[in-house]
Amino acid sequence: MEIQHPKLVQFLNTIVANSANRDNTKTVAEIIADGLLVLRSYPENSAVYLYLMDEIDFDFRFSSSNPVTESEQSAHIFAELQEQGIIGEALSTAGAVTYYGSSAGQHSYIVLPLAVPTSVLGVIILENTPDEDPPSRPLLQLCELSANQFAYALYNTKLVQRLTYNQSVLEQKVSARTIHLEQMQRELKTILDSIQTGIVIIDAETKEILDANPAALEMMKAEKNAVIGKHHSEFFPQDELSTSQNTEKIESSLLQSDGESLPVIETSATIHLGPHRRIIHSFLDISVRKNFEDALLRANLMLEERVQERTTELNALVRKLTNEVTERERAEEAARIALEREKELSELKSNFVSMVSHEFRTPLTTILSYTQILQLYKGKWTEEDEEKYLKNIQVAVARMTDLLNDVLFIGSSNTGAISVNLRVVNLFELCNSVIEELRFTDTNKHTVNYKFDYLGSGLRTDEKLLRQIVVNLLSNAAKYSPLNTDIDVRVFRDNGHAVIEVQDRGIGIPAESIGSIFESFHRADNVGNISGTGLGLAIVKQSVDLLGGEISVESELNEGTTFTVKLPIQ
Ligand code: ADP
């Protein structure tokens, strides 16, 4: 470049001087003032305008000028150059563009972009007094150089400013964060110190205790310096401290420094503090709860024992009550039996009264009528008549005596007042004599067949009772059988028993009465006019029982009846 023009030389010197005078401590305003001053030394320059690009809306705004001008005028110049496309051209070519304005003759303009490679900072407009010749290329290059210098200086200063600002903001943030952290640390410590949960911090690698809060120390019964650096197993021998996350609560025990064991519930969690891994082991004293549980257990056991005792007592009571109930039932049963007996007795009494009134009336009437005849016709009857009347009276008395004897026997046997006199009796003779008596009294109205197959004749028994049995069975057979029918009497030996069988071909006993005929005063419905007391079979049954024998009956209505008596041979 050939520089001859003295103003050009001056311009160049100014640029060089300014570039040597770089100072990072200058403010943006100083940089701008310097920049404008350099460009103001451009030959024939009348003014320099600076328009900076707004970083938010990317619009160019007038910043300052040398000399100082009205912003209105500077805006007007910018608008005109923009309209003419000069501003756009300068920005797109990143180089100086010359313009001869509409008010030609007065001013010419050089538009210089103020830019660094990464961003556009603004635009500089040089307002010059027009020469005949357009500015030479070297002159324009000098302008571009100066604008570049200006742009870098401005950019650097802004960067420095921003950096300084950012740094100060960062510093403020760091100090605020530090304060916050310190505050948090204090709060954390306060929390750790104040909570009732014991917390120890353990080195995850060595399992050494690094710190412990007051609650932990209290539970461990140890000073802090006796705990720090100790292996965790000295206080937690049961725990397998795993470094995996374990927030599950488990029941364990803490070995206190005095050797006592404290039941605790605990959790542990692993955290990363920078390069270190720490286990936060927290635990809570549950001795009160444990004691309570133990007490509860003991109370439960005691209660169970009490319940057991009470159950035993109740069982005893239930047994006693059951016995009492059984006793009462027994008493009630006895009372019922007694009542039934009472009823039976009262029935017996009324039956007895009706029987007596009926059965005694006939012989009494007989006796009365014959004694009246004897009284009325004294001496007027034959000896034969007298004999007959007296005989009839005797028969009637005998009948009454029999009746009374029967009643007395039943009464005595009910009270158990009958004695048994055992002696050997001639069985054949006894039965034969009864049959003979019957034949006599029955006046041969029936045929009595007597078969004796006893193989011997003696039987050790009570003669009176045995006679009563045979007499009643035979007289009944005759009484309840039609005239001229057979009565069979069989005596034989069977399996250690003497058996007496009396069979008739009479009216028979209805099935419904079979079960009751041995009861006193019971008479079957089919007896009709046949007289009787209902005592005969009762006497038979009592006598058989007293002799230790058995009696059975088989009967068919209108066909006949067979009574079988079995007496033991002793
Ligand atoms: P009684 O003959 O005086 O009525 P018993 O005690 O001797 O009393 O007999 C009770 C009842 O048994 C009789 O009333 C009768 O109904 C029945 N009985 C007893 N023996 C016979 C018999 N051989 N044939 C049919 N009925 C009989």
- Taking the C-alpha atoms of residue 143 and residue 12, their distance in angstroms, rounded to an integer, is 9
Decide: helix, strand or coil at residue 129. coil
Q: Is 560 in the pocket of ligand 1 (CB under 6 A)?
A: no
Burial class (CB in 10 A: 0-12, 13-18, 19+), 569: middle
Would you tell me the crossing angle of helices 137-194 and 6-20 to the nearest 10 degrees? 20
What separation in angstroms does the CA of 87 have from each of 61, 63, 93, 139, 255?
13, 16, 10, 19, 86
Selection from 56, 54, 57, 106 nearest residue 77 by Cα = 106
Q: Are 79 and 67 in contact (CB under 8 A)?
A: no
DSSP 208: B
Q: Return the pLDDT at 226.
A: 92
In this model, does residue 405 exceed pLDDT 80? yes
Ligand 1 lined by 517 (C-beta under 6 Å): yes
Sequence-ordered list of residues with C-beta below 8 angstroms from that of 533, at least 6 positions apart, any chain: 355, 359, 403, 406, 521
Task: Name the H helices within 21-49.
Answer: 28-40
Segment 340-364 shows an average pLDDT of 79
Task: Say if CB 497 and CB 564 are below 8 A apart.
Answer: no
Query: Quick one: CA dihedral 331, 336, 342, 344, positive or negative?
Result: negative
Query: How many A from CA of 515 to the centre of ligand 1?
Result: 13
The CA distance from 430 to 440, in Å, is: 16
Going along 141-243, which residue ranges are E strands? 198-203, 209-212
Peptide bond into 67 cis (omega under 30): yes
CA of 338 to the centre of ligand 1 (A): 28
pLDDT in tens, 513-560: 999 999 988 899 999 999 888 999 999 999 999 999 999 999 999 999
Bridge pairing between strands 486-494 and 447-453: parallel
For residue 532, how far is its CA from the centre of ligand 1 (angstroms)?
8
Among 514, 537, 561, 562, say which to mutate for ligand 1: greatest number of ligand atoms within 8 Å of CB: 537
Report whether residue 359 contacts ligand 1, using a CB cutoff of 6 Å.
no
Asked if residue 282 has its Cβ within 6 Å of ligand 1, the reply is no
Token output for 363: 């012989």
* Best of 468, 480, 505 for a ligand 1 pocket test (most atoms within 8 Å of beta carbon): 480
**209 Cα–ligand 1 center, Å:** 117
Q: Are 269 and 246 in contact (CB under 8 A)?
A: yes
What count of other Cβ atoms lies within 10 Å of the Cβ of residue 200?
Answer: 25
Q: Which of 487, 517, 565 has the most ligand 1 atoms within 8 A of CB, as the residue to mutate?
A: 517
**The ligand 1 atom nearest the CA atom of 504:** 23
Q: Give the SS3 label for residue 372.
A: helix
pLDDT above 50: residue 3 = no
Instruction: Give the residue from 114, 100, 119 showing the smallest Cα distance to 61.
Output: 114
Q: How far away, in angstroms, is 354 Cα from ligand 1 center?
A: 17
pLDDT class of 103 with cuts at 50, 70, 90: low
- Ligand 1 proximity of 561 Cβ (cutoff 6 Å): yes
**Residue 241 pLDDT:** 67
Ligand 1 atom, smallest distance to 522 CA: 10
216-253 per-position pLDDT tens digit: 999 999 999 999 999 999 998 877 766 556 567 788 88
pLDDT of 126 above 50: yes
pTM of the model: 0.46
> Who's near 174: CB < 8 A, 6+ residues apart?
none
d(CA 124, CA 517): 159
The closest-lying atom of ligand 1 relative to the alpha carbon of residue 481 is 24
Q: Is 507 in the pocket of ligand 1 (CB under 6 A)?
A: yes
Q: How far apart are the C-alpha atoms of 21 and 263, rounded to whole Å? A: 81
Substitution site in 360, 407, 476, 553 for ligand 1 pocket (most atoms within 8 Å of beta carbon) = 476
